[in-house]
């Protein structure tokens, strides 16, 4: 999606650029939208998780943190997989924006939420290779088999009808 796409008031690209600035200025970390940079993103997310589990943040969800780091994760996935940003307006808050890739969809804000708020150690690098919402080609095989079976049934019933008429 282009720069006009504005989740959370800014485009994903703007939020991702902001993440790069924050990482550099506040943490001395260089993020460059590469797979290797996800190791550094993991460290930042671990730090955010540690902070929000402290008593001072009890019951608070760091939405802006999730948006900014989620946009960085999404933009990295988009660049690595020739994906596009997609808006899902009917979805829940952290699933409203996804990256559509040739192998499936990933919801980067949700991935960051799970890591920061719930502490789940999801593998962000693996998400680039194989998005968690669909395995490559898995639905295609089932659809192909159903279509072939349907065609075979149609042909069989046509032959049966043809021979009963004559």
80 and 152, same domain (yes or no): no
In this predicted structure, the answer to whether residue 158 has a pLDDT above a threshold of 70 is no
> Do 155 and 103 belong to one domain?
no
The answer to whether residue 2 is domain-embedded is: no
The mean pLDDT value for 72-97 works out to 88
* 3-state secondary structure (DSSP) of residue 59: coil
Count of structural domains, the chain: 2
Predicted TM-score (pTM) above 0.85? no
Q: In which domain, by residue range, is 50 found?
A: 7-135
φ and ψ of 143, to 5 deg: -60, -45
Instruction: Verify that 61 and 28 share a domain, yes or no.
Output: yes
Of the candidates 66, 148, 65, 132, the one whose C-alpha atom is nearest the C-alpha of residue 99 is: 132
Is the domain of 162 the same as that of 99? no
Count of beta carbons in the 10 Å neighbourhood of residue 13: 17
Instruction: Give the other-Cβ count within 10 Å of 116's Cβ.
Output: 25
């Amino acid at each position: 999606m282009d720069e006009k796409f504005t989740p959370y008031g800014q485009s994903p690209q703007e939020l991702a650029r902001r993440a790069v600035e924050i990482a550099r200025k506040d943490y001395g970390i260089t993020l460059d939208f590469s797979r290797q940079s996800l190791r550094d993103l993991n460290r930042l997310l671990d730090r955010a998780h540690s902070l929000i589990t402290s008593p001072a943040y009890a019951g608070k969800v760091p939405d802006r943190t999730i948006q900014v780091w989620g946009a960085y994760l999404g933009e990295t996935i988009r660049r690595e997989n020739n994906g596009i940003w997609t808006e899902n307006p009917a979805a829940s808050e952290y699933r409203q924006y996804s990256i559509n890739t040739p192998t499936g969809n990933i919801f980067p804000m949700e991935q960051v939420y799970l890591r920061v708020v719930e502490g789940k150690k999801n593998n962000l690098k693996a998400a680039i290779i194989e998005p968690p919402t669909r395995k490559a080609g898995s639905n295609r095989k089932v659809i192909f088999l159903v279509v072939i079976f349907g065609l075979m049934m149609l042909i069989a019933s046509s032959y049966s009808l043809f021979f009963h008429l004559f």
